[in-house]
Amino acid sequence: MAAPLEGISTFTGLYHRLDKDKRFRYQCGLDISRPAPSISTLSRVFASLTKTGLAIKIPFSLSIISPFLEKKCHPPL
């Protein structure tokens, strides 16, 4: 989900960024002691997120929550 925000538009570009930048890998929630996921793994995960509709729901959820994270308070329930 961070790829578009970072100007990364391909799985190859995402793989190379994850492979070279451990801070970015950590920020994406990946274990920095392990190798970056392969291009095919990234593609399969995105396909699965798209198929289940999560590729749309996750950014929407983050857009609702992010103002509260910036203010360090809890969103209303």
Could you tell me if residue 64 is inside a domain? yes
* Distance, CA of 4 to CA of 37 (rounded, Å): 18
Q: How many domains would you assign to the chain?
A: 1
Do 36 and 30 meet the contact criterion of CB atoms below 8 Å apart?
yes
pLDDT (0 to 100) of residue 73: 47
pLDDT (0 to 100) of residue 58: 55
* Distance, CA of 67 to CA of 75 (rounded, Å): 9
Calculate mean pLDDT across residues 45-57: 75
Calculate mean pLDDT across residues 2-29: 87
pLDDT (0 to 100) of residue 56: 62
Q: Which domain holds residue 66?
A: 4-71
Could you tell me if residue 77 is inside a domain? no
CA 42 to chain centre: 10
Q: How far is CA 76 from CA 6, 58, 61, 67, 69, in A?
A: 29, 18, 13, 12, 12
Give the pLDDT band (50/70/90) at residue 47: confident
Enter the pTM of the model: 0.65
Higher pLDDT, 59 or 21: 21
